[in-house]
Amino acid sequence: MPVLSLQISPGGPVIDILVGVSRARQQALQQAAQPIPAPVMIRGLVDTGASCTCIDPSIVTALGISPSGTATLHTPSTGTQTHQANQYDVSLVLVHPQISYTIHAVPVVESHLAIQGIQGLIGRDVLSNCLFIYDGRSGIFTWAF
């Protein structure tokens, strides 16, 4: 199991992840003889308080993707109400110097994150594929997949 230990940044456990179109969409683009957008490297905050993974709208634009799902969302900003958000199908590559781990299809929600210095929230849906250890005393987090 590849293991990656990184320093906890002032913003929390932040990791670089490649976001691309899903494998299924990639095949559809090839069939349509359309270019496949290059995956985008994002800074993603590992957030155990997020049940789903989110990406900034700039990533959606860069990948030229359209919604393929909807999610009912509750955040502090929605108060006591829920609201419907678009979901997009993407692939995620968890980067490691020796070996990378690709998840070929992940539904992600679009939300404005760039203002917080990140482009993604890595939620528990992705963490369900990983081991994640937060060692606050050492200032290190460990990510294994």
**Residues that bind other proteins in the complex, under the rule CB under 8 A:** 22-25, 27-29, 31-32, 34, 47, 49-52, 54, 57, 66-78, 82-86, 89, 104-105, 107, 109-113, 115, 121, 123
| Of residues 45, 41, 20, 12, the one with CA closest to residue 126 | 45
CB contact at 8 A, 47 and 100:
no
From the CB of 86, what's the least distance to other proteins, in Å?
Answer: 4
From the CB of 22, what's the least distance to other proteins, in Å?
Answer: 6
Please say which residue, 7 or 66, places its beta carbon nearer to other proteins.
66
Please say which residue, 81 or 98, places its beta carbon nearer to other proteins.
81
Kindly report the number of other CB atoms within 10 A of residue 84's CB atom: 9
Please say which residue, 83 or 138, places its beta carbon nearer to other proteins.
83
Please say which residue, 23 or 96, places its beta carbon nearer to other proteins.
23
Cα distance between residue 43 and residue 60, in whole Å: 15
CB contact at 8 A, 126 and 106:
yes
Cα distance between residue 29 and residue 41, in whole Å: 21
